[in-house]
Amino acid sequence: MRQVPVNAVLLRQHTAAQPAVYLIVGDGRLARHLRAYLEFEALPHLSISRRSSATSKIETEKLKMLAAQATHVLLAISDSAIEPFLNEHAFLQDKVCVHFSGALVTPLAASAHPLMTFSSRTYSHERYLEIPFVLEKGRGSLRDLLPGFKNPSFEIASADKVRYHALCVMSGNFTILLWEKTFREFAKLGLPKDVLFTYLNQITENLETAPEETTVLTGPLVRGDQATIEKHLAELGKDPYADVYRAFVTAFNAIEGEAP
- Give residue 2's pLDDT: 40
Per-domain residue ranges for the chain?
A: 8-156, 166-209, 217-260
- pLDDT exceeding 70 applies to what percent of the chain? 89
pLDDT tens string 38-94 = 999 999 999 999 775 455 565 889 999 999 999 999 999 999 999 999 999 999 999
Query: Looking at the domain that runs over 8-156, which CATH code has it been given?
Result: 3.40.50.720
pLDDT of 16 above 50: no
- Give residue 9's pLDDT: 43
pLDDT of 221 above 80: yes
- Give residue 214's pLDDT: 75
Contact 29, 120 (CB under 8 A): yes
- Give residue 212's pLDDT: 80
- Give residue 197's pLDDT: 97
